[in-house]
């Protein structure tokens, strides 16, 4: 049986421009990302300069309006770009997804003046963003956050600690949800805080199981002063803004998960067709053939679901339930597929000589970020059965 070199995914893309875009991304992934992924993840190194290249190539503002420097791409195209990047290295795919999440509040709820002033640098001017919702004592129950913003003349003064912030300490701007009113979700307001604001500092990055190149850190706000012109949306609208960003962001996580799963399947197929036991390639054994078939089926199903949710979004229709379903299915599938890939590689799968174990460690975090998969099930059930009664 010949070695089966992985073939690029045969993508359904709406335009010639989108096909060119995917070719460009594959070229960047093959030349600039994949060859360094294992070593840099081992060393815990974030490729900041690569994000400069992605910005120059127009890849940090793809789903946003070209009027402010975005790429005007439909979500179904943007997500497939994320999938390609994540297949090469999750730190990069997820980094682009989080950056887009951080731009959402300003691009969707900002005033014209705010957009003209800040968006071009965020979408194509080399800046990197972070999204600050979680806190040490509020994760799934995000509406109970405690970071406070107090009005002082024309300014707001922000004090508190955000937790688990992707790009914490290296971001150029932070989209921050802080409490400006009473308890609960209606007392929260969103702000755009520059990374060099006085009083803003980050703790040492968390020591994580995977995605070690992506810095995740607590960010402290010690009386950080921002003008009211950096308030995004209305006072009290911050939680709704945060959730709206997450609906879109969850689709990004779903696409990244399918990228990681696809990379694991490609590796498993290549290995199973070249490794021989009992005088035959191990891919001859039905036990493994069925595993490969199931892995491929999960990936296709996940891709179809995130694309169908994206197409609803592109058509301006509600997509929140489908985004939660896509995040749930794609990330659970990635966990299963990457675990199976390790199994197919046998003992070698358990070593760092092959990327299968890295994919498995990376898949795990995707079941947790941007709402754990328990929370996705709650969101889906609410669409079906209404809110829980107390």
Ligand X SMILES: Cc1cc2nc3c(=O)[nH]c(=O)nc-3n(C[C@H](O)[C@H](O)[C@H](O)COP(=O)(O)OP(=O)(O)OC[C@H]3O[C@@H](n4cnc5c(N)ncnc54)[C@H](O)[C@@H]3O)c2cc1C
Residue with Cβ nearer ligand X (297 or 374):
374
- The interface region with ligand X, picked from 67-75, 78-86, 220-228, 367-375 by CB under 6 A, is 367-375
How far is residue 285's CA from residue 279's CA, in Å, rounded to a whole number? 11
How far is residue 166's CA from residue 16's CA, in Å, rounded to a whole number? 34
Residue with Cβ nearer ligand X (307 or 369):
369
202 phi and psi angles, rounded to 5 deg: -125, 145
Q: How far is the CB of 142 from ligand X (least distance, A)?
A: 7
Q: How far is the CB of 287 from ligand X (least distance, A)?
A: 32
119 near ligand X, judged by CB under 6 A: no
**What is the token pair recorded at 21?**
């875009």
Residue with Cβ nearer ligand X (260 or 283):
260
Residues 6+ apart with CB under 8 A from 244: 104, 108
Residue with Cβ nearer ligand X (58 or 205):
205
332 near ligand X, judged by CB under 6 A: no
How far is residue 72's CA from residue 292's CA, in Å, rounded to a whole number? 37
The answer to whether 310 touches 74, Cβ cutoff 8 Å, is: yes
Q: Pairing mode, if any, of strands 148-152 and 129-132? A: unpaired
- The interface region with ligand X, picked from 130-138, 259-267, 282-290, 329-337 by CB under 6 A, is 130-138
164 near ligand X, judged by CB under 6 A: yes
Residue 285 falls in which region: left (phi positive, over 0), alpha (psi -120 to 50) or beta:
beta
DSSP string, 297-338: HHHHHHHHHHHHHHHHHHTT---HHHHHHHHHHHHHHHHHHH
Catalytic member of 40, 76, 83, 370: 370
Residue with Cβ nearer ligand X (279 or 386):
386
131 near ligand X, judged by CB under 6 A: yes
338 near ligand X, judged by CB under 6 A: no
| 135-154 positions binding ligand X, by CB under 6 A | 139-140
- Residues binding ligand X: what is the number (CB under 6 A)? 20
Q: How far is the CB of 105 from ligand X (least distance, A)?
A: 13
Reply yes or no on whether 135 is catalytic. Answer: no
Residue with Cβ nearer ligand X (50 or 365):
365
CB-CB neighbours of 116 under 10 Å: 12
Q: How far is the CB of 371 from ligand X (least distance, A)?
A: 6
98 near ligand X, judged by CB under 6 A: yes
Residue 365 pairs with which residues in a beta bridge?
none
3-state DSSP helix/strand/coil % of the chain, to nearest 5:
55, 15, 30
Residue with Cβ nearer ligand X (81 or 369):
369
132 near ligand X, judged by CB under 6 A: yes
Which residue in 166, 273, 331, 338 binds ligand X (CB under 6 A)? 166
Which residue in 103, 288, 307, 365 binds ligand X (CB under 6 A)? 365
Which residue in 80, 91, 216, 273 binds ligand X (CB under 6 A)? 216
- The interface region with ligand X, picked from 76-84, 134-142, 149-157, 262-270 by CB under 6 A, is 134-142
- The interface region with ligand X, picked from 12-20, 68-76, 118-126, 160-168 by CB under 6 A, is 160-168
Q: Is the dihedral of CA 47, 52, 55, 57 positive or negative?
A: negative
- Please state the separation of Cα 45 from the chain's center in Å: 18
C-alpha pair distances (Å), 162 with each of 141, 154, 197, 370, 387: 14, 24, 15, 14, 28
Torsion of CA 164, 167, 168, 170, to 10 degrees: 170
- The interface region with ligand X, picked from 4-12, 108-116, 128-136, 336-344 by CB under 6 A, is 128-136
Residue with smallest beta-carbon separation from ligand X: 139
Residues 6+ apart with CB under 8 A from 147: 132, 135, 158, 159, 160, 161, 162, 176, 177, 178, 179, 221
Give the catalytic positions in this structure.
370
The residue ranges that bind ligand X (CB under 6 A) are 98, 131-134, 139-140, 164-166, 208, 216, 365, 368-372, 374-375
């Amino acid at each position: 049986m010949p070695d089966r070199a992985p073939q690029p995914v045969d993508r359904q893309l709406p335009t010639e421009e989108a096909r060119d875009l995917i070719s460009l991304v594959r070229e960047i992934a093959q030349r600039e990302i994949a060859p360094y992924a294992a070593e840099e993840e081992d060393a815990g190194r974030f490729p900041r300069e690569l994000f400069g290249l992605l910005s120059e190539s127009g890849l940090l503002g793809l789903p946003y309006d070209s009027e402010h420097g975005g790429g005007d791409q439909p979500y179904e195209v943007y997500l497939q770009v994320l999938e390609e990047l994540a297949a090469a290295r999750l730190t990069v795919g997820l980094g682009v997804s989080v950056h887009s999440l951080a731009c959402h509040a300003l691009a969707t709820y900002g005033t014209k003046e705010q957009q003209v002033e800040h968006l071009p640098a965020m979408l194509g001017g080399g800046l990197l963003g972070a999204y600050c919702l979680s806190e040490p004592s509020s994760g799934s129950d995000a509406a109970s956050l405690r970071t406070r913003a107090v009005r002082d003349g024309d300014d707001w003064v922000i004090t508190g600690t955000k937790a688990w912030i992707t790009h914490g300490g290296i971001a150029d701007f932070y989209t921050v949800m802080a409490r400006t009113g009473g308890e609960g979700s209606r007392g929260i307001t969103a702000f755009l805080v520059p990374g060099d604001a006085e009083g803003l500092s980050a703790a040492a990055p968390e020591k994580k199981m995977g995605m070690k190149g992506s810095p995740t850190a607590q960010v402290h706000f010690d009386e950080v002063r921002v003008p009211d012109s950096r308030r995004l949306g209305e006072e009290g609208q911050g939680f709704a803004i945060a959730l709206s960003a997450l609906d879109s962001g969850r689709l990004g996580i779903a696409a990244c998960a399918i990228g990681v799963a696809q990379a694991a399947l490609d590796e498993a197929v290549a290995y199973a067709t070249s490794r021989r036991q009992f005088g035959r390639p191990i891919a001859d054994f039905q036990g493994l053939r069925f595993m490969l078939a199931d892995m491929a089926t999960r990936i296709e199903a996940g891709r179809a679901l995130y694309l169908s949710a994206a197409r609803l979004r592109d058509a301006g229709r509600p997509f929140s339930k489908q985004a939660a379903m896509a995040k749930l299915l794609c990330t659970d599938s990635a966990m299963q597929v990457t675990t199976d890939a390790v199994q197919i590689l046998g003992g070698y799968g358990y070593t760092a000589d092959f990327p299968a174990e890295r994919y498995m460690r990376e898949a795990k975090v995707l079941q947790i970020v941007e709402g754990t998969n328990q929370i996705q099930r709650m969101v889906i059930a609410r669409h079906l059965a209404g809110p829980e009664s107390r």
